[in-house]
Each structure stands twice: as structure tokens, then as C-alpha cells.
């Protein structure tokens, strides 16, 4: 039950963060109309893949951020968050990527690059 609650909490947080980011960028910064955006998305269904990637990146970011907070500040929410390990395999030593590096560099960079690709795809479909 705790695992299901942990997954649901992280998934809801990731969905909220994804939605807020897309609203801020599409409506706030670019000034795109929602009807036109949904029209583009319905005509090119492959574009749904990019917000899905952003959602999963926010899922990993939220989970690892909660794991980092639990470890650093000795917080225990009763859910025992643990990081999702990723390995750096270019050196053939299966070196794990440090948690702080993932939180500060890897996840934000991936989210921003995917968001940039989504924005460019929406603008070119207009």
C-alpha cells in the first residue's frame, strides 16, 4: 500500500509540474491559444510523445528530489523514498550517476531540451 501511495504521490506531483510548465510556456510566454494548440496536437498525434517525456522526467526528478530531502534532512514521511539509479556506462565500469548531478544538471537539461523541441514542433505546425 505504501508503494502505491508513493507512486501516486510522485505521479500527481509530476503531472502538476508538467501542466504548470506547459501552461506557463505555451500560454504565458508564447501567447498561443489553447484551441489552436489542441488543433495542432489532434492533427499530429506524435507530438503527444514530447509532453509524455517531460512528465516522466518530472516523475524521476520529483522522486529523486524527495529521496535527496529524506536523506539530507533526515525526513521520514513514512514512505521511504529512494533514488532511481542510472549508470554511466561510457567508462565500462557501470559508474552510477551521483544524485546531486541528476537533480541539478541531468533532469532540468532534459526537460528544457524536450520542451524546446515541443515548442519548435508546435510553432512549425502553425
Q: How many CB atoms lie within 10 A of CB 121?
A: 16
pLDDT tens track for 53-74: 999 999 999 999 998 988 888 8
- E-strand stretches of 10-108: 87-88, 95-96
Confidence (pTM): 0.88
Interacting residues of 80 by C-beta distance below 8 A, sequence separation 6+: 2, 6, 70
- With cell 529521496, the residue in question is 67
Whole-number Å distance between alpha carbons of 83 and 61: 9
pLDDT tens track for 3-41: 899 999 999 999 999 999 999 998 888 888 888 888 988
Output the CA–CA distances (angstroms, integers) from residue 64 to 89, 100, 117, in the order listed: 20, 9, 24
Amino acid at each position: 500500500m505504501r508503494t502505491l501511495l508513493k507512486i501516486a504521490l510522485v505521479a500527481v506531483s509530476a503531472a502538476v509540474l508538467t501542466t504548470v510548465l506547459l501552461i506557463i510556456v505555451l500560454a504565458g510566454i508564447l501567447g498561443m491559444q489553447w484551441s489552436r494548440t489542441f488543433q495542432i496536437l489532434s492533427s499530429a498525434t506524435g507530438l503527444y510523445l514530447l509532453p509524455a517525456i517531460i512528465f516522466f522526467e518530472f516523475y524521476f526528478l520529483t522522486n529523486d528530489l524527495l529521496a535527496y530531502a529524506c536523506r539530507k534532512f533526515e525526513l521520514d514521511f513514512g514512505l521511504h523514498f529512494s533514488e532511481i539509479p542510472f549508470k554511466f556506462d561510457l567508462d565500462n565500469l557501470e559508474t552510477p550517476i551521483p544524485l546531486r548531478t541528476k537533480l541539478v544538471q541531468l533532469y532540468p537539461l532534459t526537460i528544457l531540451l524536450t520542451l524546446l523541441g515541443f515548442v519548435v514542433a508546435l510553432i512549425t505546425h502553425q
